[in-house]
Every structure is written in C-alpha cells, then in structure tokens.
Amino acid sequence: MKISKHRENINRFYNVLDVLLIIIVAVSVILFILYPMWMVMVKSVNIDGIYSLDIYKNLIKNSTKLITNSLMVAISTTVLTTVMTVIISVYASLTKKWVGRLINLTLMLTMISPPFVTSLSYITLFGKRGFITHDILGLTLNTYGFYGIVLMQSLGFISLSSILLIGIIKSLNSDTIQSARDLGADTGSIIFDIIIPMIRPGILVVAVLAFVRSLADFSTPAIIGGSYNTLAAESYFSVIAYSNLNRAAAINTLIFIPALIGFLIFRHYMNRLPMMGGSTTGSDGLNLPRSGKIYRIFGVLTILFLFILIMQYGSIFLSAITKKTRGVMYFTLENIVESKNHINTTIFRSIGYSLIAAIGGTTIGYLLSYYREIRKVRLMKVIDFIATMPYIIPGTFFGLGYILAFNDYPLPLTGTATIVILNVLFKQLPFSTKIADSTIKQIRPESIDSCKDLGGHEMNVLKDIMIPSSKPGFFLSFINNFTATMTTVGSIIFLVYPGQKLATLIMFDVIQSGKYRIGAVIACLLILVVMLFNISFYLLFLSDKKKTKQSSN
Amino acid sequence: MKKKFLTLISLLMVSVMLFAACSPTKPAEDQKTEVADDKSGEVKEETKEEPKEEPKEEKKKTEDEAKLNFEGRTLNVVATSESYVPLFEKFTEKTGAKVEFLSMSSGEVLSRVKAEGGKPMADLWFGGGLDAFIQAKNDDLLEAYKSPNAEDIDAKFKDADGYWYSKGITVVGLLVNNDVLEEKGLEAPKGWKDLADPKYKDEVIMSSPAISGTNYAALKGWLDLWGEEEGWKFFTELNENITAYGKRGKDPFEKTIAKEFAIGIIPADKSAHDAMKEENVTLIFPEEGIPWVPEGVAIFKGSDNVDIASAFIDFMYEPESQKMIAEIDGKDTNQLVKPGAEGFDLGLDPSKLIDEDLSTFGSAREAILEKFQSIAGDK
C-alpha cells in the first residue's frame, strides 16, 4: 500500500511537471522567437506609423536578381555541403580507427569558425593572390562572386554536419550491414545501398540546415561576394549603410519564403521516412573491408577537404605567432603578449554566457522534440515550426527583432545580460531541435511501449529512455550551441552594451583597428577554449556511455 | 545516479532560465540603477543648463565638483575602434569615471538607436564620419552641449547648436601594394586621375560610399575639387576600373594588404602607417588634393551620464588629450581641429587639403549616393 501511495504521489508530481514543461517550452518559443520576428514583419509594413506594402512592391520589382542569386547560392551550397558531408562521414566511419579519430578531431577543431578571421584566411589561401591559388598553382583567379560564396559557406558548414552524420552512422544497426556483407556485397554497394539509405533522415537534416543557413548568411557574401549580391547581404547593407530598418525588415521577410518552402519539403520527407529501428550496439564501428573504388574516391576527397581545412586554420595560427617587417615574416610571441591587454575578463563572460545558452538551448530543444515526436502533442508541431525560424533570418536581424520586441513594456530587457543570452540561446534552437529529432527517431517505439507497460509514467519515458539514448545528440547540440555562442557577432552586436562585451566583439574591435594578428590570437584562444570544453564534455559522456554499455552486455 | 543527475540538471536549467527571463533586475541593470542613485542631481542640473552663459570661473568649479562625483560611475562609449583605450584611461585617471566602449560602424549605431526608439545605447559617440552625426542630429538623437573648451574651434568643426563636435579630421589617401604593382609591371599612381587609367583595371578597391564615411568623403571631395560635372565624369571613368565596391569600411585596407588589389582608397590613419612598416605597401597622398572628413563626437540624447559625457568633450579639447589623439590616430597637426594643438609631423601639406563644402556634407548625401548608385549599378 505504502509503495503504491508513493507511486501515486510521484505520478501526480509528474503530471504537474509534464504540463509545466509543455507550457514553458511553448511560451518561451513564442515569446523569444515568434514575437521578435513578428515585430520585424510589422516593421516591414509599418513605415512611421503608416501601413503600406510599398516596400514589397519595390523589392519584388527590383530584386528578382537578388532572389535568384540567393537561391542559386543556397541550393549549390546545400548540394556541395551534403555530398561532402556524406563522403567524409562515411569514410571516417569505415576507415581505421585512429584515422577516424584524427578526422573527428580535425572536424571538431574546425567546427569553430571565428568570424572575419576565417574569411580573411580564406582570402590569404584562395584569393587572387592567395597562397594556394597564386603561389602554389600559379593562377590568378577571381574568387569573388558565386563560386567564392558557395565554397566558403560549404567549408564553414561541412565540419559540423560531418560530426553530426558520423554520430548517426555510429549508432546504426550493424546487423543489416553485416548480413549484406555475408551475402558478398562489396564496400561500394553497401555504402550506396545500405548505409546511405539508412542515414537518410540525418542527411536531410544536414541539407536543410545548410540551405537555411546559406540563405541567412550575410557575412560571406559581404566579404567575398564582390558584385554578386544576395538578399541577406542586401538586408545587412540596408541596415548599416542607410539605416533603413523598414527595407531591411522587408528583405528578411522575403528570405522566409524560400526557406519556408525548403523547410516544408524537409518536413514532408522526414515524416515519410521509416524509423530506423536502430539499436546502439554498432558503436564499435562498421566492420567493412577497406577496399574498392568508391572507398578510395571517398578517401581522396576526404583527405583533400581536411587538407584545405588544415591549411585554413594553420594560416590563422601562423598569423597569431608571426609578424612582418616590410613584407618579411618572422616568428614572435609579441602578438600573444599584446593580446593580453585586450582580452582580460571578457573571456569568462563569454564562457558563462555560452554555457547557459548551450545547456538551456539543448534542454529546450530536446523537450520540444520529445513532446512532438514521442508524445505527439499537436501544439508542438506549430511550436517546432516556429523554433526553426531563427536559422532562417540573418543574425543581425534576429538581434534587431529583439530590440524591437523587448525595448519597452511589457518586457523591457534591452541593456540586460538576459537579452543577450536569450538571443544566442534561441538563435541556436533550430539546431538543437533537429539534432534531437534525428536521435529521437532512432528510439524504438517498442522500448517506449514496454516502459509504459511496466507502469512507467510518460515522464519516465523522458527520463529513463529518451535522455540516456540521446546522449551523443545531446553532446553535439551542446557543443554546437557553446561554439556558436562563443563566436557569434551578428545577432548580439545590437544587443550588447559597452560594458558587457564578449570575446568575439573584442576580436571585432581589434580587427577594426587593423590589428589582424591580434585578432588571430584571440581566434586561436577561442578555438582553444571551445576545444577544452568540448573535450571535457565529451569525456564526461564517453565514460558514461562505456558504463551503460558494460551493464547492458 | 547519473541519469537522475542529468534529469535534475536539465530541469534546473529550464527553471533558472524561466526565472532569468522573468526577473528584470540583471547585474547590468543593477549597475545602472546604482549609477543613477549616487548621481547628485545638482551636478546634472548645472551641466544641463546653458553652460556657455556661466562665467568661466564657475564652470571650472563645476568641473572640480563633478570630478569627485564621477568616482564609481561609468561612461559608455561607442567608438570606431579600440585604439582609443589609452585616451579613455587618461580620462578615468583624471575624473574617476570608468570608460567602457564598443566598436560599431556609424550606420550600425544609427540603426540601433532608431530601433530602440531613440533610447540611448551609450552616453558618448566617439568617432565616425560626420554625415552620420548630421543625420543623427536631424533625427533628434543627440544631446546639445556647449563646451567652453571648444570656443576657439573653427565653426566648421562644430555644430552651431552644440550637437556635435569634431575630434579631428580623417584624410583620405591611397594604399598601394608594391608587390602587386611589381607583378603587374605597373607604377604607383600619383594622383586621383591616374586611378581612372585603364591600366589599373580591376586593381582599385573602394568601399561603397554608402557604408564608408571615408569613401563618401573621397567622392564628396572630388565633387568639391573639380565641380559636379568633372567630378562625376572622373568617377564614371574610375567606376570602370572597379570590379565591386567593398561592403565593409575596412575592406580596401584589408584587401590591399592581402594583395587582392593593388590600390585601396583608405583613411590615412595609424593602421596605414603601421602597415607601411610591416608590409610592402606605401601610403600615397594624391597630388590633386586630399579629401577629408571631420570625425564626429556627440552625446546621445537621454543618456544617464550627460555630465560625464560633457566632461569628456571638455577633456578631449585639452592640449594633452589632443596630443594623445594625434599619437593614437597617427595624426598630423593639420588633421587636428584645435588651434595650436601639437601633432605628428607627417608632412601633410595643409594647402593640399581640398576646400570642401561642409555645409552640404550631410544635406547632399542622399542625392550623391543616388547618383553613385546609378553609375555603379549593382557592383
């Protein structure tokens, strides 16, 4: 009797908690994503108090080229990113263990792309007189324009998406693959006929994230777009050159349309895909013969990509430890010593904000996905849809939306630290929910049923099944949010007050003062900090995972 | 155990977040309220009244009083770059007010203040092209203050009503990358007109004048130097040599250093002088004349610290500070607006500075940019 009474109490508590969690997730998403974006849209039709659609009429008449440019870039970046991601992650999963680890490490290092510094390093390598294009290959290419934007965007997206896909491949059920192998299938056909179809949900996530991120990216086209303009760059331009908020708001609203279509297509396919009945037993890697043409082509492409990445980050590191006199380079620690004057305690503030944003964002993302995917709460479909939006609009505008929304009653948050944290947290929410979706989809419905058959409350499903089985995804979402917050500039430059600067803004300051080398030192420091946090978080999860594995054996 | 722990942590985070979102008192605001509290109303009122009418003696006294009051308070500044830190430190040393700053382009500043419905994002706006300051004044975003130390400043370097001041002028120069010129077998240009020579096709980089105050000054300077017709004719020719206009103010500098272009139109500031020592580049002042632009300084309307910001403007015009600004910016005496102020000897010939019509500097902006757009197109 006593036991059942206790049970009842727990269940009652769970019921309250359940409702509370749903409300918290729904309200926070509406308040911190939909409301600011709504304010942006209002701004695009409300010009000094008068409602009009003139801006749109003008935009549509004069900006067809911008729209097609944006779409061309987004589609090409999506294709390139997705193809390369599949190649790299399949290769990394099949190759020798230490090579796979090395690839993973390189990807993790290069997942962090400090703004400005990476684009400048891209120019030093691939520019008109870039090290690779000009000095090694002897070419004087005009890298500005379409190809430059697509290449640089893909270069920036691939590392993170590969880590994501490697994680998904790791959790594949190796039985199917093993039986195909027993039937005599070669590595190439196993890759194409079994592995790739099995990871289709993951591939879709990679593709849709690349598509919307490319649409919203304004800094790449601004730096290497040359005369090739995109919608996102144009909206940024409206803000900084003409301080024309109405026009910028309208452009951002326009960016929604293709992004929305892309997202709807994604949702359609995602829902039609069968659940991947995955058991996590295959984590010792796929045991396939490392041979065949396909495998070798994948290998060459992976190594080529890694080489480019290493060169790019190597050049940042080199800038941090060298100086020049009249064009002649020499090694020195001066930059590092000098950078001490610039950084001070800001780095700790950055870490603090990033930690909160990472844990909070990941938690909300997982809860959202849980209520939508497992509990099938109808409302959550709408909420999830809203939660994808921050990836679609350029960061600058998500920042301005926050100003418009929280400048005044009822929630006067501008000028506080909270608004900055909330902004970065919700900016990364789309990633968290997508990761959560792809890991949750792997949970077998049977295990949920059996939990409930055993008398478990819905909350037990969340606590005992979902959380433990989605650790790799949780980890990935955490490091993404942490990294993104550590390196963000666009959305927070409009929210931060002079006294609350973050490390990236200091990097922006010094680069603005023409001290690129000091900027490179700060970039290296950011990479180092992010790496340390990622590794320690990874170890925390890894050791945990081993234990569960042992106990399950 | 670990599972439980994780659940607990997740739930804790959500609730913390919720509380964080609901409670309006954040550390940053605490600081602000504190500041507002220990500010003595007396000082504020005194500075807000027309200080010009006060006798100089009394003004001095006010300053001394204010000096004591600034202890524990913070002046928030939007600056163009972080190089002014030594100047801010000096101000802290003198007045006790801590200085915090943020780098932002003038366009971003305008957008942000507009989006915030005129709520000030900082107390002081330090540096940036004058056009933005004139626009801000017209949009009623600035606070007027008449600095006693600015009385001897030429009328063109300050607003008649005290809404903005100049901390100095930026002169426009050419940064040429000698390696690129050598590779292409070209010689360095001597003047503006050389830039329009077809041999420099695709080797000239200029930022869009809509974004860069410096490049707007260049364009305005050519129009003032040669007159509308000839000025636009020159620009149309120059446009042929330009592949695309930079979308960031720093673009011409960074890309000339990176050997992407042979010639960049840049502000001849400290970073250009430093670059000459580090890279194989040369700074050239075009022979026909040097365009220039006053760098604005202003107080944001509705700032909590108008008294400190006003004191900073007074401080900025003190001989010692002028010397410091000259050092930080690498400015020639002729780039300083305070009569008798000492600067670096860079050999800038004052007669070379274009006789610019500052009265139309702000008012003509829109028309000039429109014409620019019609010539430059989508570039």
Mean pLDDT for B11-35 is 41
Question: A509, A544, A548, A552: which to substitute to probe chain B, counting the most B Cβ within 10 Å?
Answer: A509
**Chain B residues with CB inside 8 Å of A229's CB?**
378
**The pLDDT of residue A159:** 92
Cα of A286 to nearest chain B Cα, Å: 28
> How confident is the model over A268-306, as pLDDT tens digits?
777 666 544 444 444 455 677 777 888 999 999 999 999
- CA-CA distance, A478 to A364, in Å (whole number)? 11
**The pLDDT of residue B145:** 93
Residue A472 has pLDDT above 80, yes or no: no
**Chain A residues with CB inside 8 Å of B260's CB?**
123, 127-129
- CA-CA distance, B42 to B32, in Å (whole number)? 19
Cα of A236 to nearest chain B Cα, Å: 10
Mean pLDDT for B163-189 is 91
Q: Which range is least confidently modeled, A120-134, A183-197, B44-58, B173-187?
A: B44-58
Mean pLDDT for B279-297 is 91
**The pLDDT of residue B17:** 45
E strands, B81-224, are: 98-103, 124-129, 142-143, 164-177, 204-205
**The pLDDT of residue B41:** 39
Cα of A288 to nearest chain B Cα, Å: 34
**The pLDDT of residue A50:** 81
Angle made by CA atoms A356, A362, A367, in degrees to the nearest 5: 125
Q: Which helix (H) or strand (E) holds B295?
A: strand B292-300
Nearest residue, CB atoms, A245 vs list B11, B115, B122: B115
Residue type, A107: L
Q: Is the dihedral angle over the CA atoms A149, A155, A161, A162 positive or is it negative?
A: positive
Q: How confident is the model at residue A175 (pLDDT cuts 50, 70, 90)?
A: confident
Among residues A168, A164, A185, which one has the least CA distance to residue A176? A185
**The pLDDT of residue B11:** 46
Contact B116 A403 (CB under 8 A): yes
- CA-CA distance, A546 to B73, in Å (whole number)? 54
Question: A42, A418, A495: which to substitute to probe chain B, counting the most B Cβ within 10 Å?
Answer: A418
Quote the distance between the C-alpha of residue A222 and its chain's center: 20
Cα of A383 to nearest chain B Cα, Å: 17
Phi, psi of B346 (to 5 degrees): -100, 0
Contact A123 B122 (CB under 8 A): no
Distances (CA, A) of A61 to A43, A57, A65, A67, B134: 20, 6, 10, 11, 32
Mean pLDDT for A5-28 is 86
Query: Can you give the pTM of this predicted structure?
Result: 0.82
Residue B2 has pLDDT above 60, yes or no: no
Residue B35 has pLDDT above 60, yes or no: no
**Residue B320 corresponds to which tokens in the numbers above?**
């010692």
Pairing of strands B74-79, B124-129: parallel
Mean pLDDT taken over chain B: 81
Contact A512 B80 (CB under 8 A): yes
Pairing of strands B98-103, B74-79: parallel
Query: Best-predicted range by mean pLDDT among A58-62, A370-374, B307-311?
Result: B307-311
Mean pLDDT for B187-203 is 92
Mean pLDDT for A417-422 is 90
Quote the distance between the C-alpha of residue A81 and its chain's center: 13
- Non-local (6+) Cβ contacts of A409 within 8 A are none
Cross-strand bridge partners of residue B300: B142
**Chain A residues with CB inside 8 Å of B105's CB?**
240
Among residues A375, A480, A370, which one has the least CA distance to residue A431? A480
Q: CA nearest B14 in A: which residue? A: A360
How much of chain A exceeds pLDDT 90, in percent?
21
Q: Dihedral of the CA atoms B185, B189, B194, B196 (nearest 10)?
A: 70
Q: Which residue has the higher pLDDT, A440 or A2?
A: A440
**Residue A301 corresponds to which tokens in the numbers above?**
């492409």
Neighbour tally for B98: CB within 10 Å? 18
Distances (CA, A) of A349 to A438, A505, B78: 32, 12, 20
- CA-CA distance, A489 to A522, in Å (whole number)? 14
Is B22 exposed, middle or buried, given 0-12, 13-18 or 19+ CB atoms closer than 10 A? exposed
Pairing of strands B292-300, B124-129: antiparallel
Is B379 exposed, middle or buried, given 0-12, 13-18 or 19+ CB atoms closer than 10 A? middle
**The pLDDT of residue A390:** 84
> How confident is the model over A50-107, as pLDDT tens digits?
888 888 888 888 788 888 999 999 999 999 999 999 999 999 988 888 899 899 889 9
Among residues A391, A285, A344, A393, which one has the least CA distance to residue A505? A344
Contact B10 A515 (CB under 8 A): no
Contact B107 A240 (CB under 8 A): yes
A83: three-class secondary structure by DSSP? helix
Q: CA nearest B121 in A: which residue? A: A497
Q: How confident is the model at residue A263 (pLDDT cuts 50, 70, 90)?
A: confident
Question: A32, A128, A397: which to substitute to probe chain B, counting the most B Cβ within 10 Å?
Answer: A128
Q: How confident is the model at residue B242 (pLDDT cuts 50, 70, 90)?
A: very high
Residue B336 has pLDDT above 60, yes or no: yes
Among residues A226, A227, A243, which one has the least CA distance to residue B114? A243
- Non-local (6+) Cβ contacts of B377 within 8 A are none
Q: Which residue has the higher pLDDT, A26 or B60?
A: A26
Residue B15 has pLDDT above 50, yes or no: no
B285: three-class secondary structure by DSSP? coil
- ipTM for the predicted complex comes to 0.79
Q: CA nearest A241 in B: which residue? A: B211
Q: Which residue has the higher pLDDT, B110 or B38?
A: B110
**The pLDDT of residue A256:** 79
Is it true that the peptide bond before B339 is cis, omega within 30 degrees of 0? no
Among residues A473, A476, A484, which one has the least CA distance to residue A112? A484
Instruction: Output the DSSP codes for A293-350.
Output: HHHHHHHHHHHHHHHHHHHHHHHHHHHHTEEEETTEEEE-SHHHHHHHHHHTTHHHHH
**Chain B residues with CB inside 8 Å of A32's CB?**
21
Mean pLDDT for B317-336 is 86
Residue B151 has pLDDT above 80, yes or no: yes
> How confident is the model over A145-162, as pLDDT tens digits?
899 899 999 998 999 899
Contact B258 A510 (CB under 8 A): no
Cross-strand bridge partners of residue B292: B171
B263: three-class secondary structure by DSSP? strand
**The pLDDT of residue B205:** 94
Residue A538 has pLDDT above 80, yes or no: no
- Cα first-last separation, chain A: 35
**Chain B residues with CB inside 8 Å of A464's CB?**
3
**The pLDDT of residue A110:** 87
Q: How confident is the model at residue B37 (pLDDT cuts 50, 70, 90)?
A: very low
Phi, psi of A275 (to 5 degrees): -65, 145
Mean pLDDT taken over chain A: 83
- The Cα diameter of chain B in Å comes to 81
Sole residue written with tokens 């050049």: A315
Contact A243 B114 (CB under 8 A): yes
**Residue A552 corresponds to which tokens in the numbers above?**
């399950």
Cα of B55 to nearest chain A Cα, Å: 35
**The pLDDT of residue A543:** 55
Distances (CA, A) of A17 to A14, A27, A448, B11, B121: 5, 15, 19, 10, 40
Contact B259 A515 (CB under 8 A): no
Q: Which range is least confidently modeled, A7-21, A518-532, B200-214, B218-232?
A: A7-21
**Residue B213 corresponds to which tokens in the numbers above?**
């105050």
Contact A164, B295 (CB under 8 A): no
Mark A368-378 as b/e (b = at least 16 C-beta within 10 Å): bbbbbbbeebe
Sole residue written with tokens 């965007």: A153
Angle made by CA atoms A120, A123, A124, in degrees to the nearest 5: 90
**The pLDDT of residue A79:** 97
Distances (CA, A) of A437 to A282, A450, A466, B77: 20, 21, 11, 44
